[in-house]
Structure 1
Amino acid sequence: MMIPDPAYIRQLFIKHAEGTATEAEAAFLIRYLQEGGSEEVLPGPEELIHITTAPKALDATATARVLDHILPAPATIRQAPRRIRYYGWAAMAAAVITTLVLVYRPSRPAPTLLTTTTSYGEIRQLTLPDGSQVTLNAGTTLQYDSIHWHTASKEVWIKGEAFFDVVPNHTAFTVHAGEAVAVQVLGTRFSVATQQQQVQVILNSGKVKVNISNHKQPAQSVVLQPGEMAAYHLQRGQLSLHQADTLQLTSWKDNQFTFRENSLEDIAEKLTAQFGVQITFDSPQLAQLRFTGTTPANNLDVILTILKSSLDIRIDQHNNQIMIKPAR
């Protein structure tokens, strides 16, 4: 940009205060400031005294009160017989200050979301910048803002299932799950799972607050104690509190599944989510067989072998298609 005449720039400020500047002139003025233009060209109060109305977007009285705290009003203005003139100058000053703040204030860098994704059958551990540990279950995506992590708020976005071991500190730590669930934590150990029908938050130790913000319904919240689970049903918009078997529900973080009288149908759903396989049953009765035991969480072949020997069933597998039949 060529160096413009200071008188021209001053006139643009005045026209801006009067509300007569064109869009092109306003754009030119902003560009001038963005490219390091001098503030010395700003018009003085005596050049704005003729403005008797505040811009429509400003409340003149409120502007005057604010400026009483941030600007020393010129004596000539304070002594003016018409207070509306002081308000006009105050409104213009506020408009100029607002413009300068928006232009000269260092802009906050845009968020840079670091993304980690696990594939089927994969369990991965990672360390966040503050030392907090996160274990991702299979088919999970975690994101966090690496640019603003060390500011007043730390935020993580999760899709899938993750176990958090958050280091104690005084900085707000929030885990977002889905579009409505936000988990506020300090120092604690808990898991978050986003499923097709609901979001689950299971607390192993410490304390968390689960907040639900859904524009269709009033806000909801619940504070969890160790051994409790919050479940938010997505379609019903309902938040409920339950006692939880934390060993069974979060043992996957230690690379094992713990089953306690689980039906084969429930186990099949877990294996589908964990490994991406499709499991069908030769008869409805087979789906109701019960299994209690421990299996690895990342080895489908070993899991199927354990189920086959424990339940006296036959398992036919072709690629990702699994059929469960009676043993004989």
Structure 2
Amino acid sequence: MEPTKELLFTYFAGQATSVQQKVIGEWLMRPASRETYFQWLDEWERSFPQYAPDLARHLDQYRQRLDNPAIEPPRFLRSLPEASRPFGHPGRWLVAASLAFILSAGGWIFRKPLLYKTITTGSYQLRSLDLPDGSTVALNSNSSLQMPRIGYGWFSRRVSLTGDAVFDVKHLSTHQPFVVQATNGLEVEVLGTEFSVRSRTSHAEIVLKRGKVNLHYAPVDRATQNLLMKPGDRVRLDEKGALQLQKQTDTTRFAHWRYRLFSFNNTSLRDVVNQIRVVFGVDVQLANPALARRKLTGTIRAGSSDELAEALAELLNLKLSHRDQNLIFSTPTEIPITQ
């Protein structure tokens, strides 16, 4: 059953019956309903404010005091009467009205932080999270996860990710889906499974270890597409909405960053350098642009950017040097960058 705007307004006013509340609760379990809910909530709050100050009248009084200061001395220069004034005094109502206006405006401006909780990690920081529904999330370095503060597990199980994370999603008896919103409009919808998501500005990547997930993505100038992933599938979506599917990938290397294992499979040094920047927050330079095309295959355990860089230099027969906080790769015969 689709609740009407009038029913929602009754609910916002605290006059909905238990049956009506149940209807609204079931409607809000659908992710597409939440935006409509907040739109109507905003409309109701604007139509039925808790207090509507007469700003025009108070501003006019204030201008009169500025134009005619001799008529009534400023209140802060007058001596206080022995009997305290009741709170209903117009001046105090003006202060209360001003505070109410500021608080209501501030609540609207900071609406997102009030409604959503964001968990972030810094450079070379890992974090494990237990969600209220029993699901778990492992966050990689320089990543953030956003989730609703209220209604998670009842209204929906929808989170937003920037960075890298591994999700182990618990299946609920209500069959409520778990949705991860990633970059470029990509949505990963699951019922109960383990998968990793990489959500960066340039691309998004999903690797499914077990279970099933349904991807929703929108290619440029095309309608939203769906893709059902199976265990072992790896999907990459670029910033233009082009999707690449690789089947039967090696899941033994699944999210090795959790154990500080860096796995490469014919990976270019350009991509390796980008990983170092993302994980450790360290700038890496190549003295010769041709080095970016060098390829690497293997797994390296490294607890710091220096450990990883030194291992790479040894494997690829490169020279590693430091300048300020930067790492520089060059061939043994090249002169390192010094400026």
TM-score range, shorter chain: 0.5 to 0.7
> 1: CA distance between counterparts of 2:5 and 2:255?
56
CA deviations on 1:192-249 (whole Å, 9 max, x unpaired) are: 11123221111111100011257953011100001112222222x2333222343446
Whole-angstrom CA distance in 2 between matches of 1:147 and 1:254: 33
The equivalent residue for 1:45 is none
The answer to whether structure 1 residue 283 and structure 2 residue 275 are counterparts is no
> Are 2:221 and 1:240 aligned?
no
Q: Deviations over 1:236-294 (max 9, x none)?
A: x2333222343446211232111233232221121122122222222244333333332
Post-superposition shift, 1:148? 0.7
Letter of the 1:295 partner, please give it. I
Aligned counterparts of 1:137 and 1:259: Cα–Cα separation in 2: 17
1:130 counterpart (120, 129, 133): 133
Secondary structure at 2:313 match in 1? helix
Gaps of 5+ in 2: 25-36, 39-110, 334-339
Q: 159, 164, 167: which one pairs with 1:161?
A: 164
In the aligned structure 1, how far is the partner of 2:207 from the partner of 2:157? 20
* 1:223 match: 228
**Equivalent position to 2:147, from 112, 129, 144:** 144
Change (3 A) 1:232 1:286: closer
Structure 1 CA distance, aligned partners of 2:285 and 2:294? 14
**Are residues 300 and 205 of structure 1, via their aligned partners in 2, closer, same or farther at CA, if it must alter by over 3 Å?**
same
- Contact kept? 1:282, 1:325, Cα under 8 Å: yes
For these two proteins, the number of residue pairs brought into alignment is 235
The answer to whether the 8 Å contact 1:152/1:172 transfers is no
Q: C-alpha separation between the residues in 2 aligned to 1:96 and 1:146?
A: 26
**Cα pair 2:184 2:239 within 8 Å, conserved:** no
1:74-153 → structure 2 map (5 Å cutoff)? 100=10, 103=13, 104-105=15-16, 112-153=115-156
Q: Deviations 1:43-100 (Å, cap 9, x if unpaired)?
A: xxxxxxxxxxxxxxxxxxxxxxxxxxxxxxxxxxxxxxxxxxxxxxxxxxx9987864
SS at match of 2:122: coil
CA displacement 1:289-324 (0-9 Å, x = unmatched): 333332235511211121222222211122332211
| C-alpha contact 2:234 2:246 (8 A) present in aligned 1 | yes
Write 1 or 2 for the structure with the bigger share of strand: 1
Partner Cα separation in structure 2 for residue 306 and residue 178 of structure 1: 32
- The residue number in structure 2 matching 1:324 is 329
The list of structure 1 runs, each at least 4 consecutive aligned residues, that deviate by more than 4 angstroms after superposition, is: 94-102, 106-111, 213-216
Task: Find the counterpart in structure 1 of residue 274 from structure 2.
Answer: 269
C-alpha contact (below 8 Å) 1:281/1:287 kept by paired residues: yes
Please show how residues 164-203 of structure 1 align to structure 2 within 5 Å. 164-169=167-172, 170-178=175-183, 180-203=185-208
Pairing of 1:46-61 with structure 2 (within 5 A): none
Cα distance, 1:102 vs structure 2: 5.3
Q: CA deviation at 1:163?
A: 0.8
Question: How far apart in 1 are the matches of 2:161 and 2:197?
Answer: 8
Partner of 2:105 in structure 1? none
Checking the alignment, whether the CA contact within 8 Å between 1:210 and 1:230 is kept in structure 2 is no
Q: Give, in angstroms, the shift of residue 133 of structure 1.
A: 1.3
Secondary structure in 2 matching 1:160: strand
Which structure 1 segments of 5+ residues have no match?
1-93
Q: Report the Cα distance in structure 1 between the residues aligned to 2:170 and 2:188, rounded to whole angstroms.
A: 15
1:256 matched to 2:261: yes
CA RMSD of aligned residues (A): 3.0
> In structure 2, do the counterparts of structure 1 residues 299 and 146 end up closer, same or farther at CA, with 3 Å as the change threshold?
same
Q: Deviations over 1:165-190 (max 9, x none)?
A: 11222222111112511111111110
CA distance 1:177–1:96, shift in 2 (3 Å): closer
Alignment-mate amino acid for residue 304 of structure 1: A
Percent of aligned pairs with the same amino acid: 28
Question: TM-score scaled to structure 2, two decimals?
Answer: 0.61
CA distance in 2, matches of 1:326, 1:192: 35
User: Please, which moves more after superposition, 212-221 or 258-267?
Assistant: 212-221
